[in-house]
Amino acid sequence: WTGRIELQGAALVGIDRLMDDAYFDDLGRTVRAHGGILGAVTYPVPGLEAGIDRLFRHAVEHGLDLDFHADETGDPAVRSLALIAEAAIRHRFRGRVLVGHCCSLARQPADVVDRTLDLVAEAGLAVVSLPMCNMYLQDRRAGVTPRWRGVTLLHEMKARGIPVMVSSDNTRDPFYAYGDLDALEVYTQATRILHLDHPVGDWPRAVTATPAEVLGRPELGRLAPGGGADLVLLRAR
């Protein structure tokens, strides 16, 4: 696959591990040595805010971008998305910050949602929803039909100018055995799950130009005169 696919390492470690000085220092060295990005899985543990702060300080010091696996739960009390946005504002962070999942936002009161989305927009965070995996895993209880779709509030985010994307998560693994890393399938299913139609508008950007921009590769994911002609042709009625 050399020359055909690019991989970027993202250090999505549990936020509690970042309170271990030796582990954290070793992690930072490894990320820098391999050209990766720093990140964490956030969940409600003692010291959550301190761990997020530490991550931002380290990213500022070493010029690293950040990636968060956040709030993949239906528990409305889990609100680390707002904490991440507040930390980005507090540290005047100028790197790229991607936050994935953010499922619990859809279960929170309207006033909390509004405040959180205002913070996310001010902080310049980008958000990716994993619609197939989120819908498959959230509200999963034995013998009970799921009551909600598990996805985050992409329409409300997009209306505020927040960069939003849809993608695939967990490829044929114990969490989601059906992923194929197929961008067309992701977009097709996202259209159904998240109602990205009537009108379609510019929602195709969620799997093309927007992720390319967030990855720092704005020349990808678009058709333009003089642009790259590295195309894949497929049936996509």
Nearest residue to 68 (alpha-carbon basis) of 95, 97, 93, 89: 97
Q: d(Cα 13, Cα 37) in Å, to the nearest integer?
A: 12
Q: How far apart are the first and last CA of the chain?
A: 28
Active-site residue (options: 49, 72, 122, 185) = 72
* CB-based contacts of 6, cutoff 8 Å, min separation 6: none
Residue 126 and residue 96 in contact, taking contact as beta carbons nearer than 8 Å: yes
3-state helix, strand, coil in the chain (%, to 5): 40, 15, 45
Q: d(Cα 126, Cα 59) in Å, to the nearest integer?
A: 17
Q: Which residues on adjacent β-strands are paired with residue 194?
A: none
Catalytic residue list contains 72: yes
Rounded (5°) CA angle 6-203-188: 75
Eight-class DSSP state of 166: E
pLDDT, block means (10 residues), the chain with 237 residues: 82 89 86 91 93 93 93 96 98 96 98 98 98 94 94 97 94 87 92 95 95 91 87 80
Nearest residue to 228 (alpha-carbon basis) of 216, 215, 218: 218
Residue 227 has what pLDDT? 87
Residue 150 has what pLDDT? 94
Residue 7 has what pLDDT? 83
Q: Which residues on adjacent β-strands are paired with residue 68?
A: 40, 99
Q: Which residues on adjacent β-strands are paired with residue 128?
A: 100, 165
Please list the alpha-helical segments (H only) found in the chain.
21-33, 48-62, 80-90, 110-123, 131-137, 154-159, 183-194, 209-214
Peptide bond into 44 cis (omega under 30): no
Residue 103 and residue 71 in contact, taking contact as beta carbons nearer than 8 Å: yes
Residue 5 has what pLDDT? 80
Residue 2 has what pLDDT? 81
The two structure tokens encoding residue 236? 């996509």
